[in-house]
């Protein structure tokens, strides 16, 4: 009986995840509760190749529609506010993670993406966290945490401030805050 329940839950989760990732999910008004999705890759200027068997294979030549390419990675601003864990799960459904930032040029590019969409550089989640070990920051995509742009006096490394927000204060720098805060987010994925 337990195995049947687990199987049913697993199937339901897979169906919901697949449905959330379908083209158009979250595009219509009144769908605030759905996961935000970029346009399907087929609409984003992909090339097609024919194989010997006559099957069509799509090969991506750039980022999916709605994503912005930078240094071989694709970035997407998600305006819907979520907690940091919810934002990370949303980015995973979209094929990526919350954004990691490896130099000042990437940070400025992310700020430009948020400004282009919001007409301002609003606070948003990126993938930095020290929830595993207070004071030891890592990126959710597994890349090394070698660059930072902390505001003066940050990170405070309080035991309740484990997630990284960008565009904090007038200096538009980084701040560690509670992961339960509701913020927009920036996802990243490989091209």
Q: What is the pLDDT of residues 74-125, one digit of tens each?
A: 999 999 999 999 999 999 999 999 999 999 999 999 999 999 988 888 999 9
- For CA atoms 129, 131, 132, 136, the dihedral sign is positive
Give 150's Cβ-side CA count (13 Å radius): 16
155: cis peptide before it, omega within 30°?
yes
Query: Which domains, from first to last, does the chain contain?
Result: 72-190 (3.10.100.10)
pTM equals 0.69
- Give the pLDDT score at 37: 41
Q: How far apart are CA 55 and CA 50, in angstroms?
A: 6
Burial class (CB in 10 A: 0-12, 13-18, 19+), 113: buried
57 close to 51: Cβ distance less than 8 angstroms: yes
The counts of H helices and E strands in the chain are 3, 10
Q: What does the buried/exposed string (b/e) look like for 32-63 if buried means 16 or more CB atoms within 10 Å of the residue's CB? A: eebbbbbeebeebeeeeeeeeeeeeeeeeeeb
Length of the chain: 191
For residues 153-161, average pLDDT: 89
The lowest-confidence range among 44-58, 95-109, 146-160 is 44-58
Quick one: tokens of 9?
């839950």
pLDDT at position 52 over 80: no
């Amino acid at each position: 009986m337990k195995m049947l329940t687990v199987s049913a839950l697993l199937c339901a989760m897979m169906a919901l995840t697949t449905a959330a990732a379908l083209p158009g999910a979250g595009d219509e008004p009144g769908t605030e509760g759905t996961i935000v999705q970029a346009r399907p890759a087929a609409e984003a200027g992909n090339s097609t190749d024919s194989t010997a068997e006559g099957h069509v294979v799509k090969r991506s030549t750039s980022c999916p529609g709605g994503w912005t390419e930078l240094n071989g990675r694709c970035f997407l601003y998600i305006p819907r506010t979520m907690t940091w864990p919810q934002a990370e799960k949303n980015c995973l459904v979209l094929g990526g993670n919350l954004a990691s930032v490896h130099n000042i040029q990437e940070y400025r590019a992310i700020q430009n993406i948020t400004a282009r969409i919001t007409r301002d550089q609003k606070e948003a989640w990126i993938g930095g966290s020290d929830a595993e070990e207070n004071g030891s920051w890592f990126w959710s995509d597994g890349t090394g945490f070698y660059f930072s742009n902390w505001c003066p006096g940050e990170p405070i490394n309080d035991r309740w401030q484990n997630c990284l927000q960008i565009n904090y204060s007038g200096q538009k720098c980084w701040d560690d805050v509670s992961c339960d805060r509701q913020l927009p987010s920036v996802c990243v994925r490989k091209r």
